[in-house]
Amino acid sequence: MADEFLHIENLVKSFNGNTVVKSVNLAFNKGEFVTLLGPSGCGKTTILRMVAGFERPTSGTILVEGKDISPLPPNQRKIGMVFQAYALFPNMNVEDNVGFGLKIGRVPRDEARARVEEMLKLIGLSGYGKRFPFEMSGGQQQRVALARALAPKPKMLLLDEPLSALDAKIRVSLREEIRAIQRELGITTMFVTHDQEEALSISDRIVVLNAGHVEQFGTPFEIYNRPTTRFAATFVGTLNTLAAKVIDPATKSVSIDGQIAIIPSLSSAARSGDAISLTLRPEAISLANGHARDIVLDGTVSEVAFLGAVIRLKVNLGENALHLDTFNDQHSPPPRYDEKVKITFGGSDILVLGD
Ligand X SMILES: Nc1ncnc2c1ncn2[C@@H]1O[C@H](COP(=O)(O)OP(=O)(O)OP(=O)(O)O)[C@@H](O)[C@H]1O
Q: Which residues bind ligand X (CB under 6 A)?
A: 15, 20, 38, 40-46, 194
Query: At closest approach, how far in Å is the CB of 21 from ligand X?
Result: 8
- Out of 81, 147, 159, 181, the only residue in the binding site for another protein (CB under 8 A) is 81
Cβ distance to another protein smaller for residue 107 or 214? 107
In the complex, residue closest to ligand X by CB: 45
Cβ distance to another protein smaller for residue 47 or 214? 47
In angstroms, the CA 294 to CA 287 distance is 13
Binding-site size, Mg ion (CB under 5 A): 1
Residue 269, Cβ neighbours under 10 Å: how many?
7
| Single-letter code of the amino acid located at 354 | G
Residue 104 interacting with another protein (CB under 8 A): yes
Q: Which residues pair with 298 in a beta bridge?
A: 342
Nearby residues of 164 by Cβ (< 8 Å), 6 or more positions away: 84, 171, 193, 194, 195
Query: At closest approach, how far in Å is the CB of 89 from ligand X?
Result: 23
Query: At closest approach, how far in Å is the CB of 43 from Mg ion?
Result: 9
Nearby residues of 71 by Cβ (< 8 Å), 6 or more positions away: none
Closest-CA residue to 4 (of 24, 34, 31, 30): 30
Closest-CA residue to 234 (of 248, 256, 215): 215
Residue 89 interacting with another protein (CB under 8 A): yes
Residue 87, Cβ neighbours under 10 Å: how many?
15
Query: At closest approach, how far in Å is the CB of 1 from ligand X?
Result: 27
> What size, in residues, is the chain?
355
Give the single-character DSSP code of 162. Answer: T
Give the single-character DSSP code of 140. Answer: H
Residue 152 interacting with another protein (CB under 8 A): yes
Q: Which residues pair with 296 in a beta bridge?
A: 344
| Residue 46 contact among ligand X, another protein, Mg ion, none, beta carbon within 5 to 8 Å by kind | ligand X
Residue 327 interacting with another protein (CB under 8 A): no
In angstroms, the CA 152 to CA 107 distance is 9
- Out of 1, 2, 17, 56, the only residue in the binding site for another protein (CB under 8 A) is 56
- State CA 335 to chain mean position distance: 33
Using CB under 5 A as the binding rule, the residues of this chain from 15 to 74 that contact Mg ion are 45
Cβ distance to another protein smaller for residue 158 or 202? 158
Cβ distance to another protein smaller for residue 156 or 280? 156
- Out of 119, 149, 199, 233, the only residue in the binding site for another protein (CB under 8 A) is 149
Residue 167 CA neighbour count, 13 Å, CB half: 3
In angstroms, the CA 276 to CA 303 distance is 26
Cβ distance to another protein smaller for residue 148 or 314? 148
- Out of 77, 171, 281, 314, the only residue in the binding site for another protein (CB under 8 A) is 77
- Out of 13, 44, 115, 148, the only residue in the binding site for another protein (CB under 8 A) is 148
Residue 240 interacting with Mg ion (CB under 5 A): no
Residues at the interface with another protein (CB under 8 A): 52-56, 73-81, 83, 85, 87, 89-92, 100-101, 103-105, 132, 134, 145, 148-149, 152, 154, 158
